Structures are given as structure tokens and as C-alpha cells.
Amino acid sequence: MEQLSPEEIRRRRLARLAGGQTSQPSTPLTSPQRETPPGPLPEPSGASSQPVPPAPSHTLGLNAQNVTPATSPMGASGVAYRSQSSEGVSSLSSSPSNSLETQSQSLSRSQSMDIDTASCEKSMSQVDVDSGIENMEVEDSDRREKRTLAEKDSSSSSDVSEEQALHLICKILRVSWKEQDRDVIFLPSLAAEFQKNPRDVYSDFRDLIGQILMEALMMSTRSRDCNPFASLTATSQPITAARSLDRHLTLVPPSSQSGSPMMPCAGSFGASSLSSLGASGGGMAGDSGSDRFTIESCKETEMLNYLIERFDCVGMEERKAPKMCSQPAVSQLLSNIRSQCISHAALVLQGTLTQPRAPLQPSLLVPYMLCRNLPYGFIQELVRMTHQEEDVFKQIFVPILQGLTLAVKECSFDSDNFKFPLMALAELCEIKFGKTHPVCNLITSLPLWCPDPLSPGTGREIQSLSFLGAFFSLSVFAEDDTKVGDKFFSGPAITMENTRVVTAIISHTHRFLMNLFKILHNILLNGETREAALSYMAALVNRNVKKAQMQTDDKLVSTDGFMMNFLWVLQQLSMKIKLETVDALYIFHPKCRLNVSTEETRLNATMEDLKSWLTELHEDPSKFSEPKFPTECFFLTLHAHHLSILPCCRRYIRRLRAIRDLNRTVEELKNSENQWKDSPLASRHREMLKRCKTKLKKLVRSKACADAGLLDENLLRRCLQFFSMVIQLILRMVEPANPGVTLPLNPEIPKSFAALPEFYIEDVAEFLLFIVFEQNICFPQVLYEPCTEDIVNFLVVFICSQNYIKNPYLIAKLVEVLFVTNPAVQPRTQRFFEMMENHPLSINQLVPALMKFYTDVEHTGATSEFYDKFTIRYHISTIFKSLWQNINHQGTFLEEFNSGKQFVRYINMLINDTTFLLDESLESLKRIHEIQEEMKNKEQWDQLPREQQQSRQSQLTQDERVSRSYLALATETVDMFHILTKQVQKPFLRPVSLILSTYASLMLPYHLSNILFFLVPLQTYC
């Protein structure tokens, strides 16, 4: 054997220490010359071994300032690597492990162990980390003395001989120093040392394992073409390195990994396998380019493959021989192999053994994690052994986090590949030691955790630049990502099959959202990162306030999908919040995270009133308590509803109207084709028809995607439940001393209630209108939740207390909710309407309140008040007709008619509306009749200029629309008039009412004569 050079001896000694720290001797050491090549390990015989008392653990600090990158344990970082004590490592496999479940339990015990920083510092103090290479010059006599003592201490308590232990090490690490053989790595340097002086080769088995791994890894770096691992037959083969630098790896469904020896367990990083493609880069059938992940072909990849494989072989050995592996000596040996594999993997990931990796260079571990092809416990151990060294931990895991972010940006809901980076990040955030989540700490320390705004588009900025923004950006909405619509809804029409696809997508997104929740929830659970998480959540809300505007630039705010995902997570966080723990005055708190502008419309306070009250409130800081998490989470969720679900509902309704208008335009163009096909404008009409059809197809596809993202019954039910909590909070502010609200309310309006933003109540009304009114998206079953009673109570209280809300249009929205839930409008909401009309507070208060609002709405202060009042009164008349059928409300009607203050004004408005509506309707019918007569005379019609024909047709369309609307309102008004005069004649015979009755009797015959003249058009448009 060739004599080793002094430089080689120096390198070998350094490599021994790179393996980690000295552990307690766990097996008797006999003659090292009797080692055997890798083969079956015989079962130990004799009496069962007794547990070896743990020896004091020693932690070595390694100084790398004067060592080259190829041999330095820490590479260019220059940071001493501190690992756990041997006791902590041995807990991973110190008990019998018949399966991965046992291994998982032992691993969880290790992870739950608190890190004793003081003890680590004490052990570090035993070694002079700044002494350079001189500290590594260990005398052979000291080593022999130490080894002799170890043999004496352990020989009496273990039946595993040194020969068997060496055999087990060789078998797991697939190495040999005795002879070259296939399927093993021959270690020439170690063989030379064994041949020269076997007893001086290693101080303990941990030292030997470190030497073996270091030599095997260094052999890979000696030349570009040298790969000592190529001759090994893979047993689990996590990833096969590619020959070309741009080689692609394709994700394989979990079902294809049944033969994997890793036996991955659900919820671990080994839940699916990876299929490596050939050099051509071809993929599996049906895979798109986005389904692949590029892996770097380099020496580090070969090293990682080997280390991961050896780590996994430890678990395989424990499953094959659980009885033997449960012995303390063997368990400690296997634990040392595991920890050494992790230690050397950390060196590889830092580029210590080759060349330092650039900060922005993708991590070599990301492909393994995305393909969920790591052995169970590998990542957990890597975090455990590195998280106490901040620089090392960042150097390893920052590239991993960046790689996961880049991977998720390439994903979409058109395939299930999005779940892999989400699951990987969620499991990283769940790793916990004591009360600390190391990865959560690292995430919130990133510069792009919550970047400062740089432009007016702050909402889109924080979505695009923040770390979690990429994960929250996955969306099914066609406006956010066209891939979903192109894949699932590309057919000519939406069919039942597409409806089933929508259901499947909803189920698909639930798993994605649950991982998002796990990520943010773990960051909030970690005490060190809770403040950063709350600040980020508040920034998402504050930077998207423009999203609630009726007209907003979508390029300046976050997308609908992003905000809906954020809302889903907040809903999960707020599900267990008890209302008693919420501070109702939080939005007025000096430490409130939410930016509620003073220009925001308030329920019953002007801007001057608000400023004076806030000044008075802030003069006494003792009125405020420190904000707690339930309060902050509750109001974040409330404002998130305002910026997510409500804008999506408005966009959805606008989309439906656009589809309806386009369908009408297409039908009109098709029906009038005979008129324009031979005209000079034929080409323009054909182009318009084609353009309308294309846009209609796009809108229908967009609607189908929105169905999957918005029309989730569980989502709508959670929104309703949360709004129920908001209602309870508002009612508690109205009557703080009385848990049960009674009518009438206190005339003095609480200032805290008057200063609330108007959208707190408006959002509840808009959401109820959305889930009930639209026939195509009706979810009346959502209204049958237990929280419905709170909603009914809320509607009755504020409709009957109109002085508490200064905006009449907000009252009108609450009235509209009663209208759309009326059985005459929506039969499936009959139960909800019955709850409302039978409510104890509504029996005596609702009819007078509606009658008063009927008259007060004459003057709203808006420029469109004249036309708005007809729609509002139409809603009230419809509600009155239904309430009249309830015998309890009939008594209230009669009482109001006989002695009420609103009856005369109500009848006066009723007659005035009837007069106006009939006049306008008949005028419209007259113009319709004239134009239709002109169009019947084709000779005279064809003689008219083209511009005049188009003008007359436009007038006809407008008159038809106006007549339909006015006739519907007039019909309802006259019908109500008929009910009143038929059922209750006495009030109309009073002196004050007699004048109105006389006027009505003169007015109706006049309109009746005109109606008979236009009988045929009237039948068409009524």
C-alpha cells in the first residue's frame, strides 16, 4: 500500500472531526482486523443486553477559517457547526421499531425536546474553536487510552461484538475497506490505515462513520468523471442524477410508488415518488411542460443521492430486524449513522465539499421535496441539527424556501402539481422544537416577508413580491388564470359534465386551502413570529382597500382568487373566536392595525361628529385595553369579507347581466338577419355577431370558473355564520346593558354605534341578496343555519329603527332582503320569511315602520330619488301583500288604518304613484303602437332613411323596456289599492280620506278607458 503523505494524513484527521461529536461508547471493541465484508448480519445470541448508562456527550466546534473549501466542514461560511448531543440523537431509534409508525413516534419525541442552550454552550466551551488545525492533532496514545476505557465500560453490557457492528456499518453505508467488490464503494485511504495500524483508525463508531462518509464523498470530487456511487444498485433511489444540465423530472402520482422501499407515511415528505425521464426529456402522457421540475446535474446531487439512500437504509434495517435494532448499542449505532448522514448532507448543501453555493442558487433538496421522495424524518433531522446555527440554517433553508416559491409560481389548478410545494412548505412550518418553529422564524425574517410599498399598486405589489403571495395567488378565476377555463370549460357549451367538474375543483381547492391555513396558523402559533404574521395580514387588508370601490383598477389591487384564499384562511382562524373576547371599540383603538379612513361613510355620524368623538375618546387611554388576538383576527376577517367575497359577488352579477345582454344582442342580430344581409352594413353586422359570440363564450367560461371559486356552499355558509357574529356584536353595541334587544330602541344613539363604518351592515344585506335573489345561484338551504335567527332579528330591529341609520338606501337594502325572501318572489325561502313575519318584534312594529318608510322615501337626497322610490315602494307593496295573509299582522294593519299617523300619507303616495305609473306606461304603449304600425307598412318603412329607421327601432326598444318596468310597478300598486279598498272600507270614509277616495274614483276610469284602447299591447308587456 502506498505511504500516505503528510497532507493526506492532515486531511484524514480533519475529515474525522467533520463527522460531528464524540458519543458514548456503545459496543465492545474487539480486534478491528476481523471485520467482514458487507453481508447478512447475524442475530445476536446470548442473554439480552442491559442498557448502557449514557456517557457525557461532547460537542465539537469546528473552525474553518484556515481550511480550504474542499476539506472544511463548514465551507466558506466560517461558522462552527454545533450539533445535538448524542442523547438527543439516540432518541430517534432507541425503542423497538417494527414500522415507520414506531420510528415516527421516536422522532416526534426527539422533536418535542427543548434545546438546552446553556448545556450546548458549556460543551462548546470545552473545545477551543479558534485554535485552528493544532487542536486536531490528537496523540495516538490518547486515542488508544480512550478506546481501551470505552471497551472496558461497554464489554460487559452488550452482546453486539465490534465485528458485528462494523459489518452493520459496512452493510448500511455500502462500503468496504477489505477488498473491492461490486455494489460497494471501496475506500482505499481507510483500507491503508487499517492495514497500517487498525487500532488507531477510529476512536469510536461515530468517528468511523464520519471517516467513511467523508472519504466516499471526497472520492466523488477528485475528477469530473469520477462517480464512486455509480456502481451501487439502488435500493430506494430517491432521484437519479441527470446527464444533461437541463434534464427534467416528472411528478408521478402516489400510486406508482407502491414498490418503493421507503414506505412513505402520510403526512411526511415521502408520500409520493418521482419518475426520471430519459435524456430526450419526454414526459408522461398528458403531462404539460409545467409538470416538470429541472434538477441540477452535478457532484452535489450524486452526494445527496448517496446520503439520502444511506439515511433510508437505516429505517429499512430497523424494519427488517426490529429485535436486534431495539438493543441500546445497535440503536445508538443506527442513530449515529442517521445524524452523520444529516451532518454531511448539510455540508453538501452548503457547497463545503465542492464550492460554496451562491445565495440565489436553487437548493438541491427542492426537487426531492416537491416529489415527496425523502425518507421520513430527513428534513426534520436536518432542521433539528442546523437551526441553532443561524448562518448555517439560512444558508441551507433560504434556497429551499426560494425554490418552493418559484415552483408554486409555475403551478395552476389545471393539474394537481400545485399541492407539492404547498405540502412541503406546510410540513416545514409544522416542524417544532420546544415552543419554537425554526422555519417560521426564518420565513418572517426574509426581506420579502412583507415588503414596503413602492408604487400606487400596493395591493398587486404585496401579492407579487411577498413570500406567501405566490402561494395565495393560485386561483380558479378566469381573470386570474386562464388555464383552468381552457382545460375544463373549453367546450362549446356548459353541460352537466362541467357541473361535476366544478364540484371536483371545489373539493380540489379545499385541500390546497387547508395547507395554506396550516402555514399561516403555524406562523401565528409561534410566539416569535405572531407579530410579523398579524402585520402581514393587516398589510394585505390595508393595501387592498380600493378593491371595495365600485370602479377600481384591477391592476392596482390583488386578484379575486388571492383575496378569496386569504378570506378562507381567516375564516378558519376565526371559527373558534368567542364574541365575549372581542373588543367592539377596536377600530377606534390607537393600536388598531386596520386603516379605517375618517372619510369612510359612517352609520349615523358626520365627519365632524366622528373627529370630535375620537378626540374625546383618545384623551383617556385607560378606556382601551391591549388588543388581543381574537379581537384582531375578528376585525381582520370582517374587513377581508368586505374586500373579497363582496367584490366577487358584484363581479359575478355584472357577468351574468353581460351574458344576458349579449344573448339578447345575438338573438336580435340573428332575427334581423334578413333585413341587413343584403345591405351595405352586412359585413359590419356579421363582424359584430362574430365578436359577440366570441365574447359570450369567454364570459360563459369565466362564469363556470367563478362557479368553482365562489359558489361553494360551505364557503357561503361560513360567511353567513361570520356575519351572524358581526350582527351580534353590533346589537350588543346598540343595547350594551340588555342582552335581548327590545323595540323601540333607546332614542339616544350610542356614539360607538353611530361611528361604525356603514359597510358593516351593508355587507350583510348585499351578501343575503346574493345568495337568495339570483335564481341561477340560489342557495336557500344556506339560510336554514342556526344563525338565521340572528339575521332575522337584525333585519327587524333596524328596519323598525330607521333613526339609527341615516342612509335611506341602506334601509332600502334591508327591505329588499325581505322582498327577495318573500314566497311570492322566491318560493324556496318561505321558511325564512315565516321566521321574519312571526318574529315577536315584527308583529307590532314592522307594518308601521314599512308604511313610514314608504312615505319617507319620497325624498332621499339623491339625484335619482324620483325613480328610486318606485322600486322601493314596489318591494314594500309586495311585502304588505304577504303580511296581509298573516292574521297577526292584519290586526296591526287595521290598527294603523284606523288610528295610525302614516295611513293618510301612505294612501296619498299610493294614488300619486298609480297616476304617474299609469300615465307613463300608457304613453310608452302609445309610442310602441305607433312604431309597430309604421313597421307593418313595409313600403313606407323602406322609404325612410337608414338612420331614421335605426332611431325608431332604438326608441321602440327603450319604450318596451320602460313600459315593462312601469307596468309591473303600476300593477303592484293598483293591486295593493284594490286589497285595501276591498278589505278595509271604513278608513276611506273618514273626512280626511274621503278627498283622496274621490280623487281616486275620478282618476281610475280615465286610465281604464286608455287601457282598453291599448289592450293588445298591454297584454304583451304586462
pLDDT in tens, 684-701: 889 999 999 999 999 999
DSSP-derived pairing of the beta strands 274-276 and 248-251: antiparallel
Least confident of 152-156, 335-339, 428-432: 152-156
d(CA 972, CA 873): 9
| Residue ranges covered by each domain of the chain | 6-41+54-220, 908-1021
Flag whether pLDDT at 335 surpasses 60: yes
Flag whether pLDDT at 23 surpasses 60: no
pLDDT tens-digit profile of 825-870? 888 888 899 999 999 999 999 999 999 999 999 888 777 888 888 9
Confidence of residue 75 (pLDDT cuts 50, 70, 90): very low
Annotate 635-654 with three-state secondary structure.
Answer: HHHHHHHHHCHHHHHHHHHH
Confidence of residue 779 (pLDDT cuts 50, 70, 90): low
Higher-confidence residue of 821 and 921: namely 821
Residues 470-486 have a mean pLDDT of 92
* DSSP class of 174: T
Flag whether pLDDT at 964 surpasses 50: yes
Flag whether pLDDT at 29 surpasses 90: no
pLDDT at 644: 96
Higher-confidence residue of 532 and 124: namely 532
Question: b/e map of 716-744 (b: 16 or more CB within 10 Å)?
Answer: bbbbbbbbbbbbbbbbbbbbeeeeebeee
Residues 348-376 have a mean pLDDT of 86
pLDDT at 1011: 56
What nine digits make up the cell of 358? 451562491
d(CA 749, CA 802): 11
pLDDT tens-digit profile of 378-387? 999 999 999 9
pLDDT at 605: 93
Least confident of 108-117, 183-192, 526-535: 108-117
Flag whether pLDDT at 991 surpasses 70: no
Backbone angles phi, psi at 733, to 5 degrees: -75, -30
pLDDT at 361: 79
Higher-confidence residue of 109 and 202: namely 202
pLDDT at 555: 92
Report the candidate in 626, 599, 604, 641 with the shortest Cα–Cα distance to residue 734.
604
d(CA 333, CA 40): 17
Flag whether pLDDT at 635 surpasses 90: yes
- Give the rounded percent of residues in the chain with a pLDDT score beyond 90: 40
Residue type, 13: R
In the three-class reduction of DSSP (H, G, I as helix; E, B as strand; rest coil), residue 933 is classed as helix
pLDDT at 753: 95
Flag whether pLDDT at 145 surpasses 50: no
Higher-confidence residue of 988 and 239: namely 988
Q: How far is CA 512 from CA 77, 289, 372, 430, 463, in A?
A: 37, 21, 16, 16, 18
pLDDT at 677: 81
pLDDT at 141: 44
Residues 815-830 have a mean pLDDT of 90
Higher-confidence residue of 617 and 786: namely 617
pLDDT tens-digit profile of 114-141? 333 333 333 333 333 333 323 333 344 4
Flag whether pLDDT at 6 surpasses 70: no
d(CA 572, CA 520): 11
pLDDT at 480: 92
pLDDT tens-digit profile of 572-617? 999 999 999 999 999 999 999 999 998 899 999 999 999 999 999 9
Higher-confidence residue of 524 and 970: namely 524
Strands of 745-871, DSSP E: none
pLDDT at 495: 65
CB-based contacts of 786, cutoff 8 Å, min separation 6? none
Cβ atoms of 418 and 476 within 8 Å: the answer is no
pLDDT at 402: 93
Confidence of residue 1007 (pLDDT cuts 50, 70, 90): low
Confidence of residue 780 (pLDDT cuts 50, 70, 90): low
Residues 195-221 have a mean pLDDT of 87
pLDDT at 58: 32
Mean pLDDT of the chain: 77
pLDDT at 997: 56
Flag whether pLDDT at 630 surpasses 60: yes
Flag whether pLDDT at 277 surpasses 50: no
Residues 414-441 have a mean pLDDT of 92
pLDDT at 343: 94
Flag whether pLDDT at 778 surpasses 80: no
CB-based contacts of 498, cutoff 8 Å, min separation 6? 488, 489, 491, 704
Whether omega for the bond prior to residue 786 falls within 30 degrees of 0, making it cis, is: no
Flag whether pLDDT at 83 surpasses 60: no
d(CA 172, CA 336): 12
pLDDT at 54: 37
Cβ atoms of 385 and 336 within 8 Å: the answer is no
Flag whether pLDDT at 1019 surpasses 80: no
Flag whether pLDDT at 263 surpasses 60: no
d(CA 109, CA 87): 12
Higher-confidence residue of 484 and 53: namely 484
Higher-confidence residue of 175 and 94: namely 175
pLDDT at 296: 72
Cα angle, residue 829 at apex, residues 827 and 834 outer, rounded to 5°: 105
